[in-house]
Amino acid sequence: MENRLEKKHYYFLICVFLFYGLWAMIQPVNAGPDESMRYSICQYILNHGSLPHGADPEIMNWTWGQSYAFTPILAYMLCAIPMKIVSLFTSNVHYLWLGARVMNVILAVGTIYFTIKIARILFKEERWQWLFIIFVGCLPQFVFIFTYVNNDGLALFSCSLIVYAWLSGFKDQWSYRTCTLLAVGLAVCALSYYNAYGFILVSIIIFIGSMIHFHPNQWFKPLMIKGLYISAIALLLAGWWFIRNYLLYDGDFIGMRTSNYYAELYATDQFKPSLIASPSNLNMSLWQMLIGEQWLLIFLTSFIARFGGMLIFPPLWFYPLWGIVILVGVIGCFYKIKEILFSKDFMKTLFNYGMLLAMIIPNLLNLYYSYFNDFQPQGRYSMPMIIPLAYFIVLGTQSLLEHFKWKKHYVIIMSSSCIFTMVYSLFFIIIPYYY
């Protein structure tokens, strides 16, 4: 059965493009975290028509002693396309910068497009579909991520594509069309941001588990054939980047070791990797970092809404409002935990465990980086979990309120409140702050 969108969904996508685009247009240049460092790569690609070495002086940040070109730069390659179009008419830096941001706005529309398709598969009732869609698309921090130049947006797009491919694979028992879709999602994920790589691992688990379920007696052959098919396409689309790194950086196909080498060589003393005072180097316990250094508080608030360089705050009532939505969903999940994690339906259980793992991994990576490398409690590093989180929140809310007559009113009130926080963020926080 085709999962086609209705007119109202397309209207919603148009609103997403216009609203996100307005936010991107209003923000001055370098409004997002390290945006100038990211934009310099887009500018390099536009000027030279080639990809830079990670230590090229044109893109290096001499404070940090490194650049973002050591890590995958597919997002910046895509941003250079609208920049090229803009450059045909003007060389104004502001318009070129806006051209780069437009690509992220387009990725936002793509992410919400797949989010809608996911919602229509996961939830039968329209009210729950819309709560899922609005939770994802109207979370202020999620919106902000798609309004400046970064590779987080591409990572989130790949996550939505991958989850949709999982659900499609369950429906058509992994047709070659769906296998191709998953392979493309995995390739884009590999070329986006390392904190989204958990979806690659979970995809392997879900694919193997579902193939064995679909072919209980003769699973090995179809598993190998389609598994190799997915791997071949993913490697064909993404492998070039890691081969390039291997050749450029003396066998460092990830690029991180080389990035740290240049940082150690050129960064100012306080930012050299060996001298950064990470919690681990200071013999601080994980609990001290989480509570004493307020990592958990900063992480939670910045996952909901902290803009600019983490310095633009919304009103305090933002956090309890979103907290209610999340808390109700969490309570509902614990209320139905046996049904969620130990369902008699194998495919449902496999999917739930996959979503749970996809939600946990970005947070573990986020914690690991802050504890052992650089103390940065930023919610955006865990944003790849947004679709799994929204799934469990809506699933839990649905379970908890299923016997209450006023569940419809709750969904309307909470959905409207979430939309309001998004609109408020632009017109009463971002615009007044910058103008």
pLDDT in tens, 338-358: 999 998 899 999 999 999 999
pLDDT in tens, 321-338: 999 999 999 999 999 999
Mean pLDDT of 38-52: 97
* CA dist., res. 97 & res. 60, Å (int): 18
Q: Identify the bridge partners of residue 307 per DSSP, sorted by sequence position.
A: 312
Contacts of 290 (CB under 8 A, 6+ apart): 296
* CA dist., res. 249 & res. 260, Å (int): 12
Residue type, 111: T
DSSP string across 321-358: HHHHHHHHHHHHHHHTHHHHHS-S-HHHHHHHHHHHHH
Q: Say if residue 14's pLDDT is above 60.
A: yes
* CA dist., res. 104 & res. 117, Å (int): 20
Percent of the chain past pLDDT 70, that is, above it, reads 100
pLDDT reported for residue 2? 58
Q: Say if residue 1's pLDDT is above 50.
A: no
* CA dist., res. 72 & res. 194, Å (int): 9
